Amino acid sequence: MDGIKHRKVAVNGINMHIAEKGEGPVVLFLHGFPELWYSWRHQILALSDRGYHCVAPDLRGYGQTDAPASIESYTSFHIVDDLVALIHSLQVEKVFLVGHDWGAIIAWYLCMLHPEMVKAYVCLSVPFLRRNPTVPTVDAMRALYGDNYYICRFQKPGEMEAEMAAAGTKYVLQNILTTRKPGPPILPPGEFVFNPDMKDTLPSWLTDEDLDYFVSNFERTGFTGSLNYYRNFNRNWELEAPYSGVKIKVPVRFITGELDMVYTSLGLKEYIHDGRFKEDVPNLEHIIIQTGVAHFNTMETPEDVTNHIYTFITKFDFHSI
């Protein structure tokens, strides 16, 4: 679409598909679940026209990027290594980083492990997740919301894949992408209902063509690769132990919708606003809460998200990347 180019890059033992457009400083976009590079289509077009080299991969296990078979191949540390290799392949030392949902989590890990590679980070939806030194991540979520909390339900290999297959790929993606229900998503066993208020018609920001692009990709790949990210939450918690208490020093702007299911769960709204987020991320410069906006804000409010990215990254030396 509109001059976006596609190619495969060999990174960290896999072949990664990237979409890219433009010349100039690199802006690296990291998508979430259940998404693809395509979630950034609006930002790629707008920012490439403003003098940036926009790069959006399908992350490991998604879309046209390879999907290793083992669950253990999907830790955040594996995916960070994919991105380090990708950045090296672009022949730059630093990038502007933009991440949403799982892409935001991976971006926090990249900022933690390789801060020298990140000029600034625009984070959407998922703030820095402070490590609990005594309780693994999924155990803490189960204690808070029970066994039917969606992340807990995603843990058993094959179980959620079977429910998604029974519901149908198009239904699953439409059900998740159009949800506007705040608070913790609860998925009782049986019929897949992430969004109980799903309408037959799509919202104005998601066309039939858009949905078809997601559906065609996930029909080909299935959901196992994307679900394996969730199945590594506790393994990530173990691997992260040496970094417990670390401060993220890169400059950060945070953007989320007031209806976002993450913002309204897990005590994160309080964490974001009571000073703890700023304590963990000392160079957090702005917190932007979008009125009336839900989780998939890169697509729901593309111009607003693009403008927030642009006004933040242009504060930094344009020619030093």
Confidence at residue 59, expressed as pLDDT on a 0 to 100 scale: 98
Give the burial class of 198: count Cβ atoms within 10 A of its Cβ; 0-12 exposed, 13-18 middle, 19 or more buried.
Answer: middle
The predicted-structure confidence for 131-151, as pLDDT tens digits, reads as follows: 999 999 999 999 999 999 999
Q: Is the pLDDT of residue 320 over 80?
A: no
Reference 179, options 150, 147, 154; nearest CA is 150
The predicted-structure confidence for 19-64, as pLDDT tens digits, reads as follows: 999 999 999 999 999 999 999 999 999 999 999 999 999 999 999 9
The predicted-structure confidence for 110-127, as pLDDT tens digits, reads as follows: 999 999 999 999 999 999
Taking a C-beta distance cutoff of 8 angstroms, is the pair 159, 133 a contact? Answer: no
Q: Which of 58, 82, 101, 280 is catalytic?
A: 101
Give the burial class of 193: count Cβ atoms within 10 A of its Cβ; 0-12 exposed, 13-18 middle, 19 or more buried.
Answer: middle
Confidence at residue 128, expressed as pLDDT on a 0 to 100 scale: 98
What percent of the chain shows pLDDT beyond 70?
98
Indicate if 6 belongs to the active site. Answer: no
Q: Is the pLDDT of residue 321 over 80?
A: no
Residue carrying structure tokens 């799982």: 102
Q: Which of 17, 31, 100, 295 is catalytic?
A: 295
Indicate if 304 belongs to the active site. Answer: no
Confidence at residue 310, expressed as pLDDT on a 0 to 100 scale: 97
Residues with Cβ within 8 Å of residue 24, at least 6 apart in sequence: 51, 52, 53, 318
Domain residue ranges in the chain = 5-316
The predicted-structure confidence for 259-295, as pLDDT tens digits, reads as follows: 999 999 999 999 999 999 999 999 999 999 999 999 9
Taking a C-beta distance cutoff of 8 angstroms, is the pair 311, 158 a contact? Answer: no
Indicate if 230 belongs to the active site. Answer: yes
Taking a C-beta distance cutoff of 8 angstroms, is the pair 113, 80 a contact? Answer: yes
Confidence at residue 284, expressed as pLDDT on a 0 to 100 scale: 98
Architecture of the domain made up of 5-316: 3-Layer(aba) Sandwich (3.40)
Task: Look over the chain and give the mean of its residue pLDDT values, rounded to a whole number.
Answer: 96
Handedness of CA 169, 170, 175, 176 (dihedral sign): positive
Q: Which of 230, 260, 263, 280 is catalytic?
A: 230
Angle at 106 between CA 154 and CA 75, to 5 degrees: 55
The lowest-confidence range among 167-171, 191-195, 216-220, 244-248 is 191-195
Separation between Cα atoms, residue 312 and residue 252, nearest integer Å: 9
Q: Is the pLDDT of residue 319 over 50?
A: no
Q: Is the pLDDT of residue 318 over 90?
A: no
Mean per-residue pLDDT, 159-174: 97
Confidence at residue 148, expressed as pLDDT on a 0 to 100 scale: 97
H or E stretch including 302?
A: helix 302-313
